[in-house]
């Protein structure tokens, strides 16, 4: 161990590569050592470690085989015994011991600081709290260890877009085990979560729209400390992005002295993995309503849901009417640009109402709907004003047509007067 | 006969005069420049000095879209587009946080419009603000 | 002498208007069963005058750049007092003008008013007709909306297919290889400077020639007069014909005002050069008959591109039509005349029919 550290320290101090190299920079060739020279000439499994050496972030930072595996990198070629000298620390970890193996460096703050001043060194501690880590501690070699997600010899940095742990590949990586029914059965886990996630609005945002802010498995479950959020924490997890809804939800618990934990919070209405874009039909008492999942017609909240849904519907209908009125007036040539921008405020108020549904507070909701309705009515009034102006234009036209008709009559009579009543062309 | 002719001449003259007036009047009104001298796609008066208190902000229409005019606690005026670059909600100014905040998913922007927190992927378009003769004029940079 | 009399004689010594007025008083217009067609020339002139006046008013607010053109037209329509009226009249009058100029041309054709000594009047008139079409084509792009953008693209594309000079013509028209803001500025220059200058010259020549030769009497009326020995009746231009002209002009003015108020010209959607072309692009109605014809032609005819044949045919047709006075000279016989009338009727019928076809539902 000490020899390993010594060798590592020497190499690191020699400053083979600067610490802040971007992870996907041109792969530098692996530093020369007898390990690489020998293994690159072998076939099959023995050649695997060297195949992807150029992509590996450790090699790019100037580390080599012996920095992790020990042994003698300066041994004579073909001298396997000398190279694999256990006295020089050569070892090959088993699956169960891999977390400790990687943590040799990755849990050492002073060591990691030489490569990345902001590097975290608590991965092992987190791992121990995860389901993977707990089972690993009991001797279950089938659960995930470091190399299952990060790769083993061609390890790429997390920021590298082609890394298996890059944000866009996490679901795929987790899915390698969690979508495998055979693997999951002994643990009592359904293997449906990855597929459910793929169908969700979050996956669509991430994969179709390319929105990197959209969550994937580790955003809700943690990466090294991967575990399902506890019942208390679902609203916390969703709330890390959907802050307002979460705040409102927590206020409800406090205000009404409710313990909503048994309802598993957000999941009741929104599901956890197959989250779909919410629709307005979820509010109210209609067939697609989520309120009626728990509340029957004799519950007071049923009535609240009815009223809230009705006010939202009324606002939406009136808003559409106002938009249409203003659009038609605009097409007819009346200036309505400022009125249309003012009406946009009502769109924001409709979004606000959808958020306020999470307050489960009838009075507050209806008050907000009322404010939205007031904005919309201003828009409708503007539209009606525009049409009044249109009517004025037509009135002006009618007057001028009368004048023109008078002129035409005058001309015709004048012609007749000048030339007598003979028919002239 | 003479009076009839006289009446006819008078009638023709008067109605022709009225028609000329009906033609010339709109043309003259047209020539007089309207209140706002030009289409406001690139430049508009967002407010007048003194309308906004320190630390207050207001949404105003600009080029058909909402924009945000902020008067910082130090008295400086800033203007940015008010449409969040994440999912198009309208942002607001949080005087308590001295940042621009989007209520939909907690997006945060600094006063230059740069996205500094939450999901927004791009900064808000920043506009130029000039104060001339008591008008706060916002124009596209 | 009264003040007015003094003023008149002052002007008389310097300008000599009385000679012109005397000339105008002398002018007489023949009256017969076809003389209604005589009003069309004046109507065309009136509508052109409306275009000039409304056009000048519009250019006080219009901005010829792709970033501001649409907004400036919107500004005129919505913010400028009576801007909606001026703009709608300009657009409607443009269409009315093209319609009337075609009717004027066809009436002159069928009444054979192009015969000697009026060949040059016909020639200048045909050139004026082409100029009016150019006005329409260039003006259509100026609001910079989607329909106009793509119609211009299609139109200049067709111009580019003319052999030999097509490529050059396309680049000259577009101000580049594509329709861009540069095209807009160029079209604006054509529309407000180049074409008006050319029109002024040709129109001046056309009107002078008309005054010089007087109104042509159709051969059938002449023949009848010779037979009965009675010369055709006539009307003094001042005031009789002019007052009747004024009646027509008032009707036109009223029609334009009504159209502006009940069918205001749409603004459309601002052009986006990167958006795909919408379905149903077509040029203005007066080009539609050519557009439909090109669409009907088969891809290849005898190894030559079908559309190219169409374009060349139109060019040849226009040339022949312009040179009609030289084909139907005094030497031509009755059969030639009948053939020409038939050809003219066929051309008219074809153009009308193809225009209707372009607007059939489901056509685009």
pLDDT at residue A128, rounded to an integer: 93
- Tell me the shortest Cα–Cα distance from B100 to chain A, in angstroms: 15
In chain A, what residues touch C88 (CB-CB under 8 Å)?
Answer: 333
Which band of pLDDT confidence, cut at 50, 70 and 90, is reported for residue A20? very low
Contact B26 C82 (CB under 8 A): yes
Q: Which of B26, B31, B32 sits opposite C85 (nearest CB)?
A: B26
Nearest to residue A153, comparing CAs of A28, A30, A20? A30
Count of H-run helices and E-run strands, chain C: 16, 4
Nearest to residue C57, comparing CAs of C68, C49, C46, C65? C49
Q: Give yes or no for B8 touching A (CB within 8 A).
A: yes
Q: Give yes or no for A413 touching B (CB within 8 A).
A: yes
Contact B22 A403 (CB under 8 A): yes
Q: Which two tokens stand for residue A132?
A: 């993977």
Which one of C30, C46, C254 would you mutate to disrupt binding with A, by most A Cβ within 10 Å of its Cβ?
A: C254
Q: Give yes or no for B113 touching A (CB within 8 A).
A: no
Q: Give yes or no for A242 touching B (CB within 8 A).
A: yes
Average pLDDT on C334-355 reads: 90
- Tell me the shortest Cα–Cα distance from B62 to chain A, in angstroms: 9
**pLDDT at position A13 over 80:** no
Average pLDDT on C271-292 reads: 85
Name the closest residue on chain C to residue B25, using Cα atoms: C82
**pLDDT at position B39 over 70:** no
Average pLDDT on B15-33 reads: 92
pLDDT at residue A204, rounded to an integer: 93
Q: Give yes or no for C260 touching A (CB within 8 A).
A: yes
In chain C, what residues touch B31 (CB-CB under 8 Å)?
Answer: 57, 60
Average pLDDT on C150-177 reads: 89
Mean pLDDT of chain B: 87
Q: Give yes or no for C79 touching A (CB within 8 A).
A: yes
3-state SS of chain A? CHHHHHHHHHHHHHCCCCCCCCCCCCCCCCCCCHHHHHHCCCCHHHHHHHHCHHHCHHHHCCCCHHHHHCCCCCCCCCCHHHHCCHHHCCCCCCHHHHHHHHHHHHCCHHHHHCCCCCCCCCHHHHHHHCHHHHHHHCCCCCCCCHHHHHCCCCCCCCCCCCCCCCCCCHHHHHHHHHCCHHHHHHHCCCCCHHHHHHCCHHHHHHHHCCCCCCCCHHHHHCCCCCCCCCHHHHHHHHHCCCHHHHHHHHHHHHHCCCCCHHHCCHHHHHCCCCCCCCCHHHCCCCCCCCHHHCCCCCCHHHHHHHHHHHHHHHHHHHHHHHHHHHHHHHHCCCCCHHHHHHHHHHHHHHHHHHHHHHHCCHHHHHHHHHHHHHHHHHHHHHHHHHHHHHHHHHHHHHHHHHHHHHHHHHHHHHHHHHHCCCCCC
Contact A344 B19 (CB under 8 A): no
In chain C, what residues touch B38 (CB-CB under 8 Å)?
Answer: 72, 75
With contact defined as 3+ CB pairs under 8 Å, the chains touching B are A, C
Query: pTM of the entire structure?
Result: 0.72
CA distance A95 to A181: 22
Q: Which of A242, A348, A414 sits opposite B89 (nearest CB)?
A: A348
- Tell me the shortest Cα–Cα distance from A408 to chain C, in angstroms: 5
**pLDDT at position B38 over 90:** no
**pLDDT at position B48 over 50:** yes
Contact A393 C84 (CB under 8 A): yes
**pLDDT at position C109 over 90:** yes
- Tell me the shortest Cα–Cα distance from A415 to chain C, in angstroms: 7
pLDDT at residue A45, rounded to an integer: 83
Average pLDDT on C46-55 reads: 97
- Tell me the shortest Cα–Cα distance from B74 to chain A, in angstroms: 28
Instruction: Please state, for a pLDDT cut of 90, what percent of chain A lies above it.
Output: 34
In chain A, what residues touch C215 (CB-CB under 8 Å)?
Answer: none
Burial environment of residue A223 by CB neighbours within 10 A (0 to 12, 13 to 18, 19 or more): middle
Name the closest residue on chain C to residue A413, using Cα atoms: C243
Cβ-Cβ pairs closer than 8 A, A with B, add up to 74
In chain B, what residues touch C82 (CB-CB under 8 Å)?
Answer: 26-27, 29-30
**pLDDT at position C305 over 50:** yes
Say whether C229 sits in a helix, a strand or coil.
coil
In chain A, what residues touch B108 (CB-CB under 8 Å)?
Answer: none
pLDDT at residue A18, rounded to an integer: 44
pLDDT at residue C56, rounded to an integer: 97
pLDDT at residue A19, rounded to an integer: 45
Bigger pLDDT: A260 vs A197: A197
Contact B66 A243 (CB under 8 A): no
In chain B, what residues touch A241 (CB-CB under 8 Å)?
Answer: 105-106, 118-119
Q: Give yes or no for B5 touching C (CB within 8 A).
A: no
Q: Which of C57, C68, C75 sits opposite B30 (nearest CB)?
A: C57
pLDDT at residue A203, rounded to an integer: 93
Through-space distance between the first and last CA atoms of chain C, rounded to whole angstroms: 72
Contact A242 B105 (CB under 8 A): yes
Q: Per residue in C194-221, pLDDT tens?
A: 999 999 999 999 999 998 898 888 888 8
Which band of pLDDT confidence, cut at 50, 70 and 90, is reported for residue C329? confident
Backbone phi and psi for residue B59, each to the nearest 5 degrees, phi listed first: -90, 130
Q: Which of C235, C250, C267 sits opposite A408 (nearest CB)?
A: C250
**pLDDT at position C11 over 90:** no
pLDDT at residue C86, rounded to an integer: 95
**pLDDT at position A423 over 70:** no
- The ipTM of this complex is 0.83
In chain A, what residues touch B11 (CB-CB under 8 Å)?
Answer: 406, 410, 413
Nearest to residue A240, comparing CAs of C162, C177, B118, C321? B118
Q: Interior CA angle at C138 toward C134 and C140, to 5°?
A: 115
In chain A, what residues touch C246 (CB-CB under 8 Å)?
Answer: 411
Q: Per residue in A42-89, pLDDT tens?
A: 888 888 888 888 888 988 888 888 888 888 878 777 778 888 888 878
Which band of pLDDT confidence, cut at 50, 70 and 90, is reported for residue A256? confident
pLDDT at residue A408, rounded to an integer: 94
Which band of pLDDT confidence, cut at 50, 70 and 90, is reported for residue A15? very low
Q: Give yes or no for A340 touching B (CB within 8 A).
A: yes
Q: Give yes or no for B121 touching A (CB within 8 A).
A: yes
- Tell me the shortest Cα–Cα distance from A340 to chain C, in angstroms: 14
Q: Which of B29, B35, B39 sits opposite C82 (nearest CB)?
A: B29
Lowest mean pLDDT among A24-28, A160-164, A348-352, B124-128: A24-28
Which one of A344, A404, A411, A421 would you mutate to disrupt binding with B, by most B Cβ within 10 Å of its Cβ?
A: A344
CA distance C164 to A339: 54
Cβ-Cβ pairs closer than 8 A, A with C, add up to 66
Nearest to residue A264, comparing CAs of A254, A249, A278? A249
Q: B99-102 and B135-140 as β-strands: parallel, antiparallel, unpaired?
A: unpaired
Contact B41 C68 (CB under 8 A): yes
Instruction: Please state, for a pLDDT cut of 90, what percent of chain B lies above it.
Output: 35
Which band of pLDDT confidence, cut at 50, 70 and 90, is reported for residue A135? very high
In chain A, what residues touch B63 (CB-CB under 8 Å)?
Answer: none
């Amino acid at each position: 161990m000490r020899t390993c550290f010594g060798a590592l320290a020497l190499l690191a101090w020699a400053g083979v590569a600067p610490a802040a190299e971007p992870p996907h920079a041109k792969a530098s060739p692996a530093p020369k050592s007898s390990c690489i020279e020998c293994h690159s000439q072998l076939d099959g499994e023995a050649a695997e470690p060297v195949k992807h050496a150029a992509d590996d972030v450790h090699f790019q930072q100037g580390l080599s085989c012996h920095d992790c595996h020990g042994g003698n990198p300066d041994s004579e070629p073909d001298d396997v015994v000398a190279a694999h000298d256990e006295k020089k620390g050569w070892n090959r970890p088993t699956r169960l011991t891999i977390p400790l193996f990687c943590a040799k460096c990755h849990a050492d703050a002073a060591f990691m600081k030489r490569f990345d001043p902001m590097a975290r060194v608590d991965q092992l501690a987190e791992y121990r709290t995860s389901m993977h880590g707990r089972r690993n501690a009991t001797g279950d070699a089938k659960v995930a260890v470091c190399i299952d997600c990060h790769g083993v010899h061609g390890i790429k940095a997390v920021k590298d877009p082609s890394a298996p742990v890059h944000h866009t590949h996490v679901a795929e990586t987790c899915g390698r085990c969690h979508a495998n029914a055979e693997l999951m059965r002994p643990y009592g886990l359904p293997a449906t979560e990855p597929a459910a996630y793929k169908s969700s609005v979050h996956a669509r945002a991430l994969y179709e729209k390319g929105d990197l802010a959209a969550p994937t498995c580790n955003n809700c479950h943690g990466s090294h400390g991967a575990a399902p959020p506890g019942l208390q924490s679902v609203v916390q997890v969703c709330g890390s992005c959907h802050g307002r809804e979460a705040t409102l939800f927590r206020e409800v618990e406090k205000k009404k002295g409710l313990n909503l934990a048994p309802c598993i919070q957000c999941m009741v209405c929104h599901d956890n993995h197959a989250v779909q874009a919410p629709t307005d039909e979820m509010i109210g008492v209609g067939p697609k309503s989520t309120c009626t999942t728990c509340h029957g017609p004799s519950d007071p909240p049923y009535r609240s849901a009815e009223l809230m849904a009705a006010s939202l519907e009324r606002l939406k209908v009136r808003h559409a009417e106002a938009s249409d009125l203003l659009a038609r007036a605009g097409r007819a040539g009346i200036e309505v640009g400022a009125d249309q921008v003012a009406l946009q405020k009502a769109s924001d108020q409709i979004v606000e109402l959808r958020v306020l549904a999470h307050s489960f507070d009838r009075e507050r909701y209806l008050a907000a709907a009322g404010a939205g309705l007031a904005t919309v009515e201003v828009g409708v009034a503007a539209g009606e004003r525009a049409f009044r102006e249109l009517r004025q234009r037509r009135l002006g036209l009618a007057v001028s047509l009368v004048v023109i008709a008078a002129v035409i009559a005058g001309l015709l009579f004048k012609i007749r007067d000048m030339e007598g009543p003979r028919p002239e062309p | 006969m003479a009076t009839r002719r006289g009446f006819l001449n008078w009638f023709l003259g008067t109605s022709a005069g009225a028609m000329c007036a009906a033609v010339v009047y709109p043309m003259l009104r047209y020539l007089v420049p309207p209140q706002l001298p030009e289409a406001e796609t690139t430049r508009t008066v967002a407010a007048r000095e003194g309308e906004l208190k320190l630390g207050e902000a207001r949404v105003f229409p600009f080029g058909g879209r909402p924009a945000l005019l902020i008067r910082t606690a130090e008295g400086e005026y800033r203007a940015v587009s008010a449409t969040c670059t994440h999912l198009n909600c309208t942002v607001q100014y949080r005087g308590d946080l001295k940042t621009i905040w989007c209520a939909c998913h907690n997006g945060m922007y600094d006063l230059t419009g740069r996205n500094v927190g939450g999901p927004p992927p791009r900064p808000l378009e920043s506009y130029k603000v000039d104060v001339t003769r008591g008008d706060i004029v916002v124009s596209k940079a | 002498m009264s003040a007015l009399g003094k003023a008149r004689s002052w002007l008389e010594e310097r300008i000599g208007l009385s000679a012109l007025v005397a000339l105008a008083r002398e002018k007489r217009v023949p009256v017969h069963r076809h003389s209604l067609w005589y009003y069309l020339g004046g109507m065309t002139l009136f509508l052109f005058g409306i275009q000039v006046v409304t056009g000048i008013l519009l250019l006080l607010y219009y901005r010829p750049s792709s970033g501001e053109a649409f907004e400036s037209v919107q500004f005129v329509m919505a913010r400028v007092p009576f801007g909606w009226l001026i703009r709608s009249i300009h657009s409607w009058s443009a269409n009315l003008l093209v319609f009337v100029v075609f009717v004027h041309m066809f009436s002159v054709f069928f009444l054979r008013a192009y015969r000697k000594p009026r060949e040059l009047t016909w020639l200048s008139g045909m050139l004026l007709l082409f100029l009016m079409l150019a006005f329409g084509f260039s003006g259509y792009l100026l609001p910079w909306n989607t329909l106009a953008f793509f119609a211009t693209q299609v139109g200049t594309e067709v111009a580019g297919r003319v052999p030999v000079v097509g490529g050059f013509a396309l680049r000259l028209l577009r101000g580049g290889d594509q329709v861009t803001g540069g095209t807009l500025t160029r079209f604006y220059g054509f529309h407000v400077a180049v074409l008006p200058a050319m029109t002024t010259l040709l129109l001046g020549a056309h009107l002078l020639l008309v005054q010089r030769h007087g109104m042509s009497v159709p051969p059938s009326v002449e023949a009848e007069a010779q037979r009965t020995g009675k010369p055709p009746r006539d009307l003094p231009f001042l005031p009789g014909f002019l007052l009747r002209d004024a009646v027509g002009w008032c009707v036109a003015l009223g029609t334009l005002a009504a159209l502006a108020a009940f069918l205001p010209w749409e603004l459309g959607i601002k052009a986006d050069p990167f958006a795909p072309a919408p379905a149903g692009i077509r040029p203005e109605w007066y080009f539609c008959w050519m557009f439909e014809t090109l669409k009907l032609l088969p891809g290849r005819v005898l190894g030559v591109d079908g559309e190219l044949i169409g374009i060349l045919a139109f060019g040849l047709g226009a040339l022949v039509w312009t040179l009609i006075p030289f084909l139907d000279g005094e030497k031509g016989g009755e059969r030639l005349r009948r053939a020409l009338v038939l050809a003219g009727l066929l051309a008219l019928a074809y153009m009308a029919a193809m225009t209707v076809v372009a607007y059939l539902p489901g056509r685009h």
